[in-house]
Chains A and B, each alone.
Chain A
Amino acid sequence: MEDFLIGLAAPILRGIFLGGLYVVIALGLSLVFGVMKLINVAHGDLVILGSYFAWAIMGWLGIDPFLSLVAGVPLFFVLGFFVQKFIINRTFRISLDAALIACFGISIIVQSLCQIIWTPFNRSLTTAYQLKTFAVGPVTISLRYLLNFIGGLAVMIALREFLRRTYLGRAISAASQNEPVAERMGINPNRVYSYAFAIAMACAAVAGVLQGLTFYFSPASGSPFLIISFGVIILGGLGSMAGTFIGGMIFGLTQTLGAYLSGGSLMVQMLAPYLLVFVILSVRPQGIFGR
């Protein structure tokens, strides 16, 4: 029994730490979802684009992937701003379905672009500290999982302070709470959408680095991240940072515990989060905190 509990401790810790990665991805998704009620189905692919960007910078300049974010975050921010301004805002005026299809188009473009530039082979961000482990009592933990947790916490706190303290952040919160009223208070919704998408892209850049340190990635590996982070949003609720954080932990735990309890089956590890999303949606079709 004691052995079982100690054995259980490692996957639990790993799950909680892995949750940090899902939190970073979900925060970007939920920001866009909050203001536009639109799920950006390209978000998973944008995360993978972030991984590839860091990988390319690493190969080119030989610097640490976290340092590459100095260039990556502003670049993704600007890119997101213009994508929203020139593509999604225009389609959003037509209908929500048109915007969804445009996002789907972006997803295809990003995926094929990654494949054209970086070939379809599996890559990973290989660093000196990537495979380092440390022991906490009887449990060994990989450093990369801890980095996910720290990264998730840092992005969450930064985003929270941004949404609370800056004018733009408050505008975004206002627009996501009640858009018609926000518009009457002098907030330009199109501008808010653009900034929200830009911040979501910046989150994707950060998530890309964390993801690349943790898993292998190929151009097609974005869709699990989209589905999991969507699950995190509906579990954690919109606009609630703490909820999103707990949601991320739950999905991380589902994955690692599912794998552990099934004896390391890859299928269960992949299926468990999907089934969780589907079950939540079937039981509460508007999401747990849906209005």
Chain B
Amino acid sequence: MVVRYKMKMPRLTTLAPIAVLVVLALFPLIGIPLSWLNYLFSFFIYLALASMWNLLAGYTGLICLCPHAFVGLAAYTMAIGTWVGMPFQVGLIAGAAVAAIFALVISYPVFRMKGIYFAIGTLVLPEVLKQWFNYWRPVGTAYQGGGAGYSVIGLAGFSLGNKYWLALAIAAASIFVVHIILRARLGLGLTAIRDNENTAASSGVNIFRVKLSSFLIAAFIMGLAGAAYFIHTPKIQPSGGFSISWLLLPLMATVIGGEGREEGPIIGAAIVTFLRFLLADYGAWSLFIQGIILIVVVVAMPQGIAGLLRRVGAYRFPVKLFQAAEGKIHKNLK
């Protein structure tokens, strides 16, 4: 029974993220500068995308080059939904659902492809969608649709603080989902597939179903994050919704932060957000510098920053501190 009593006290490692979340959620209320809310909003969106890309590339071994298909589809669904009288909150969920359905539809052909073929097969899809949306005009007059795109309407009264909380919730959900998946049967299946698909199959892992689960989850949350971004910037065009930068962002964040590590996307997304705003005024130079950084990271530290931190043992001290604090709390409770 003593054990049971001990279990009731939540562990510090559980409490710490909740505390961070609460502090972040309080930010709009304590009146920090609006520009900071803006930066953090982008950070959360990039974080959600990156942690999903990490789930696919780092844990499932799917180098999926089509996040922009999910983002664009979800954002377009939401925008068109608001034009036919849907509230944008419903549109947001519907958009994510459409992204997941799209993932389901393409899953059968793309999962037959392996490695490099999978990468190119997925790279084709957003290009096709971009061409299609360049000509498609389901609602609106001749001034909307096609290359001109749609604006999201009915957003009046949805303040920056609300958008901030929405993005925070999506980012927190994405990290939580990855955390849970990795500790469930699904996570074991995923890493087994990544490390060796044939061995995983012969050990009884249903490869198609496991891959599909992570693909659908990633598509749904990427769609959610992308649509949320277009609530903040309420104008979507084919060139913006299906822009390759929706692929570049999560890819860079994951690779810089550390692929296949839970904390990697967080570090990477912070760096990418910082770079984006730092280089925002330099146009094409910004992309140029990001490309150079990407190559330098891949060549010099393929494990990313998280891997580097682990190697030099930077986590040892905080973990010790945590354990010491936890020990003290439990002692006092007894």
Q: Which residue of A lies closest to B288 (CB)?
A: A112
Partner pick for B117 among A87, A111, A286, CB 8 A cutoff: A286
B63 near A100: Cβ-Cβ < 8 Å: yes
**In the bound complex, what is the Cα–Cα distance between A87 and B288 (angstroms)?**
16
B124 near A39: Cβ-Cβ < 8 Å: no
- Determine if B109 is an interface residue (Cβ-Cβ < 8 Å): yes
- Determine if A104 is an interface residue (Cβ-Cβ < 8 Å): yes
**In the bound complex, what is the Cα–Cα distance between A223 and B130 (angstroms)?**
13
Partner pick for B298 among A39, A98, A223, A282, CB 8 A cutoff: A98
Q: Which residue of B lies closest to A286 (CB)?
A: B117
- Determine if B198 is an interface residue (Cβ-Cβ < 8 Å): no
Size of the chain A interface, CB-CB below 8 angstroms: 44
A106 near B127: Cβ-Cβ < 8 Å: no
Partner pick for B57 among A37, A97, A116, A281, CB 8 A cutoff: A97
**In the bound complex, what is the Cα–Cα distance between A113 and B287 (angstroms)?**
9
Interface string of A256-289 (1 = CB under 8 A from B): 0000000000010011001101100110011100
Chain B residues touching A, range: 35 or more
How many inter-chain contacts with C-beta < 8 Å in the A-B complex?
121
**In the bound complex, what is the Cα–Cα distance between A100 and B118 (angstroms)?**
12
**In the bound complex, what is the Cα–Cα distance between A95 and B127 (angstroms)?**
27
Partner pick for A112 among B116, B121, B284, CB 8 A cutoff: B284
- Give the residues in chain A near B167, CB-CB below 8 Å: none
Interface string of B76-118 (1 = CB under 8 A from A): 0000000000000000000000000000000011101111110
Partner pick for A109 among B128, B292, B302, CB 8 A cutoff: B292
For window 76-94 of A, CB contacts with B under 8 Å fall at 87, 90-91, 94
- Determine if A102 is an interface residue (Cβ-Cβ < 8 Å): yes
- Determine if A105 is an interface residue (Cβ-Cβ < 8 Å): yes
With known contacts A38-B116, A104-B294, A271-B131, A109–B109 Cβ distance under 8 A: no
Chain B at the A interface: mostly helix, strand, loop or mixed? helix
- Give the residues in chain B near A95, CB-CB below 8 Å: 302
**In the bound complex, what is the Cα–Cα distance between A96 and B118 (angstroms)?**
13
- Give the residues in chain B near A41, CB-CB below 8 Å: 119, 123
**In the bound complex, what is the Cα–Cα distance between A23 and B18 (angstroms)?**
57
**In the bound complex, what is the Cα–Cα distance between A106 and B287 (angstroms)?**
11
B288 near A278: Cβ-Cβ < 8 Å: no
A111 near B287: Cβ-Cβ < 8 Å: yes
Q: Which residue of A lies closest to B244 (CB)?
A: A223
- Give the residues in chain A near B283, CB-CB below 8 Å: 115-116
- Give the residues in chain B near A115, CB-CB below 8 Å: 283-284, 287
- Give the residues in chain A near B120, CB-CB below 8 Å: 39, 227, 230, 277, 281
With known contacts A104-B251, A227-B124, A281-B121, A286–B109 Cβ distance under 8 A: no
- Determine if A71 is an interface residue (Cβ-Cβ < 8 Å): no
Partner pick for A267 among B134, B285, B286, CB 8 A cutoff: B134
CB distance from B59 to the nearest CB of A (A): 13
**In the bound complex, what is the Cα–Cα distance between A101 and B123 (angstroms)?**
13
- Determine if B177 is an interface residue (Cβ-Cβ < 8 Å): no
B291 near A267: Cβ-Cβ < 8 Å: no
22 contacts between A and B (CB under 8 A): A39-B116, A41-B123, A94-B302, A96-B116, A97-B57, A105-B292, A105-B295, A106-B291, A107-B291, A108-B287, A112-B286, A116-B283, A227-B120, A271-B131, A274-B128, A277-B121, A281-B109, A281-B113, A281-B121, A282-B108, A282-B109, A282-B121
- Determine if A224 is an interface residue (Cβ-Cβ < 8 Å): yes
Q: Which residue of A lies closest to B290 (CB)?
A: A108
Assuming A97-B259, A115-B287, what are 20 further A-B pairs, CB within 8 angstroms?
A41-B123, A87-B299, A91-B298, A94-B302, A97-B63, A98-B302, A100-B119, A102-B295, A102-B299, A107-B291, A108-B287, A112-B284, A112-B291, A115-B283, A116-B284, A267-B131, A267-B132, A270-B131, A278-B109, A282-B113
CB distance from A31 to the nearest CB of B (A): 15
Interface string of B296-324 (1 = CB under 8 A from A): 00110010000000000000000000000
B298 near A278: Cβ-Cβ < 8 Å: no
- Determine if B231 is an interface residue (Cβ-Cβ < 8 Å): no
With known contacts A97-B63, A281-B117, A286-B114, A105–B291 Cβ distance under 8 A: yes
**8 smallest beta-carbon distances between A and B, as pairs:** A282-B109, A108-B291, A109-B291, A112-B287, A105-B294, A285-B112, A112-B288, A105-B295
**In the bound complex, what is the Cα–Cα distance between A208 and B277 (angstroms)?**
34
